[in-house]
Structure 1
Amino acid sequence: MYIIKLNAIDSTNTYLKSLALVALPKDYTVVMAESQTEGRGQMGSLWRAEAGKNLTVSVFKKVSYLKIEQQFYISMAVSLAICKALKTLKIPKLHIKWPNDILSADKKLCGILIENVIKNNKMQGTIIGFGLNVNQKNYNELPQASSLSLLTGVLYNKDEILSDILNQFQYYFKMLEAKKFNEIKFEYETLLFRKEKPSTFKTKDNTTFSGIIKGVTENGMLNVWTEDEIIKTFDLKEVSLLY
């Protein structure tokens, strides 16, 4: 692995994307920063993290063995890898909130942003950005957030946690390369937050409806059993799951 450590940067994902524009980085090129000024989450949302207290990391991985229509398996594999690493730290009640937020009970620990490099209509690589709340203690403006240290009382070594996560990345990407898609999807759906429980959803025009999450499609759309007793599928731009 090739690890680049930075003190401060706008976004680790943006840094890797700029490298990829010139030439594809080496497999498992890792960029980590103590502080991000413009960290991003899903749908362009800002990701704020206290400097020095958390893991803000991006990883480049070659995925030319995947088809474009299989790209959501990257999101599933990454979510599972982070969950598996946190499970070894005895973090309780781990779930994946669709599409790829990592929760303990209903508290968000980690956000993931995946940006794929596609050339000539073929998958080349993926840039996996994640922000993991490690030792931060104050979330006054984010009542749904928590950190590993808040949950356990332990002050963690961030480099050790990153090493564990990267080891799990290698495990799950080997599964992807071996085309064990059914196993990955089954494991992902097993950890899906509020699966098989009545939940409330909000559409992009701010209307709400009730339904039960049944799982996901292969391309990452959410299958919801709705009040009119049919299963509807929604993509990330159409609906969000409320807590």
Structure 2
Amino acid sequence: MHNFQPKTLFLGKKTIYLPSCHSTNDIAAEIIQNKQVFDGTIVITSDQTAGRGQRGNSWEALPGQNITFSLIVKPDFLNANEQFKLNIAVSLGIYSFLNQYVADKLTVKWPNDVYVSDRKMGGVLIENTLSGSRIAYSVIGIGLNINQLSFSETNTRAVSLRLATQSLDEFDIEKLIGELCESLEKYYLQLKNGHSLRQKEAYLEILYRYQEYHYFSKNDTRFLGKIIDIAPTGHLMLEVNGEVEYFDFKEISFEI
């Protein structure tokens, strides 16, 4: 799991492999606190026992069957109020990587879950450390279901790459991690070189349920809305009853 050699400039050149750990994001945060940071460092594990997702959700992953790692980068070219630009770049990197294998019905669900049809294949948790008005470090935690064929009864909408492609053979996870690193670095460097507007346009093109009317819920209230844009702050912009409303990450839920 730690012998992959991505064809990158910096991302993944330094790898910290842990056979088992509670959370790669937590380990990456400790590295930053100890000031032992090499830009592009990856903390990877075969068995993450307490992985986290958006909204404080846990992440289910059987040992050795999926991709679970955290990436440390130094996006000091971004202001604190531009955090969602990094979210977009990471989402595009993951989408582009997976698109080689499962192009049909692959989307990104706001803010950064990976979906095939209405089933979740993976997600991202980005945690930033600020220095004044700039982002000093970002820990990008990525979990992707790869070879797992069964999930718990409470996780009925999960899907893996193997299930989505109906592959009889297991995927080589080390090979996939190398490819993912290459794709992530490509879009990260695009962002660094000032292509955030183009990236946002590409993000909207692959956004789950973009420009479609669907039901959402907020505070146990169900309503009909249409995703029309993403605000610079990362807020989801919905058209609801002819008016534009803005929603933060933990304010709204998608109904299936």
Question: How far, CA to CA, are the matches of 1:95 and 1:22 in structure 2?
Answer: 37
Query: How many residues get paired?
Result: 241
RMSD (Å) for aligned C-alpha atoms: 1.1
Does the residue aligned with 1:36 lie in a helix, a strand or coil? coil
Name the aligned partner's letter for residue 177 of structure 1: K
> Is the 1:30–1:57 Cα contact (8 Å) retained in structure 2?
yes
Which residue of structure 1 lines up, in the alignment, with residue 67 of structure 2?
A: 55
Return the offset for 1:139. 1.9
Does the residue aligned with 2:78 lie in a helix, a strand or coil? coil
> Is the 2:79–2:133 Cα contact (8 Å) retained in structure 1?
no
> Is the 1:111–1:131 Cα contact (8 Å) retained in structure 2?
yes
- Alpha-carbon deviations, 1:136-183, whole Å to 9, x = none? 000242111100011113310111111111101111111111111110
Q: What's the TM-score once normalised by structure 1's chain length?
A: 0.96
Q: Does residue 143 in structure 1 map to residue 143 in structure 2?
A: no
Does the residue aligned with 1:35 lie in a helix, a strand or coil? coil
> Is the 2:119–2:159 Cα contact (8 Å) retained in structure 1?
yes
Question: How far, CA to CA, are the matches of 1:160 and 1:215 in structure 2?
Answer: 35
Please give the residue correspondences for 1:1-243 in structure 2 after superposition, counting only pairs within 5 Å.
Answer: 1-23=13-35, 25-141=37-153, 142-154=155-167, 155-203=170-218, 205-227=219-241, 229-243=242-256
Return the offset for 1:237. 2.2
Percent pairwise identity: 32
Name the aligned partner's letter for residue 212 of structure 2: K
Question: How far, CA to CA, are the matches of 1:140 and 1:46 in structure 2?
Answer: 12
- Alpha-carbon deviations, 1:206-237, whole Å to 9, x = none? 1111101112111110110102x011111112
More moved, 55-64 vs 23-32: 23-32
Greater fraction strand: 1
Name structure 2 gaps, 5 residues minimum: 1-12
Does the residue aligned with 1:58 lie in a helix, a strand or coil? strand
More moved, 33-42 vs 21-30: 21-30
Does the residue aligned with 1:23 lie in a helix, a strand or coil? coil
Q: What's the TM-score once normalised by structure 2's chain length?
A: 0.91
- Alpha-carbon deviations, 1:103-145, whole Å to 9, x = none? 1111100111000111234211110001100000002421111
Question: How far, CA to CA, are the matches of 2:102 and 2:84 in structure 1?
Answer: 27
Name the aligned partner's letter for residue 211 of structure 1: G
